[in-house]
Amino acid sequence: MSLHPVTDHAFSPLLIGEIRSDRPLIVAAVEEEAARLDDRFPLLVTGMGKVNAAAALALTLSRGERPGEIVNLGTAGALKEGLSGVHEISRVVQHDFDTALLHRISGRVHGAPLTVGAGRGPTLATGDTFVTDSAVRDRLALQADLVDMEGYAVATVAQHLNIPVRLVKFVSDSADEDARTTWPEALDHAAGILAGWVAEHLHAPRTPRRLPRRTRTSAVFTVNPLSAPHAA
């Protein structure tokens, strides 16, 4: 039996505004995380997960001018007690990629930790899992402070293209059993806090610019129906 891919339109990258070398490009997984931003900076919405983030960013940057900087704004789960608010990441790892094992069997280093930003701040663990389990959270806390689903992918693309990158994360949940409800409820508040961080930390030249335009790329990402999420 042949399987036909199921198109998920949420995976279609969305670029709002115009990428320019004198401005940062803001990258977010979902529009809700960037809902409170003004139009000073271009915004790329990639979709959730490492593959979507990497593919959307690489495809977008291959088509025209590159930004002076990439800023990945988003939410993250806290792996340790006492973490709240906004954090600029200093180091990012992949928690679902066994770099040590691959090195032992291949002799090569793949997926090594990345240093980002100014080198200060917490460590972020990125993986294609929305963490909602206390046992998983405690295991990940041995290597990182926060967890998300896109940061490592964005940093990888930026570093390959020699573009400065910053990962800025708002703590939206505790990466435990309550995260299924805590994260959606925190999105609007997170968007306001992240917009405030942008207003304080990012500055654009005072030059005229065209109004933002919303552009979806021609690429369509698909998922196999056997792995597609089922409707509730």
Residue 72's nearest CA partner among 185, 186, 152 is 152
Task: Tell me the pTM.
Answer: 0.82
Q: In this predicted model, what pLDDT tens digit does every residue of 42-86 receive, in sequence order?
A: 999 999 999 999 999 999 999 888 999 999 999 999 999 999 999
**What is the pLDDT averaged over residues 131-156?**
94
Residue 53's nearest CA partner among 183, 131, 155 is 155
In the numeric block, the tokens 């670029």 are attached to 15
φ, ψ for residue 29 (rounded to 5)?
Answer: -75, -40
On the CB side of 160, CA atoms within 13 Å amount to 12
CA pair distance 129, 160, nearest whole angstrom: 24
In the numeric block, the tokens 């995976």 are attached to 11
Residue pair 78/171 in contact (Cβ under 8 Å)? The answer is: yes
Q: In this predicted model, what pLDDT tens digit does every residue of 90-138 receive, in sequence order?
A: 999 998 655 554 446 666 645 678 999 776 799 999 999 899 999 999 9
CA pair distance 134, 206, nearest whole angstrom: 47
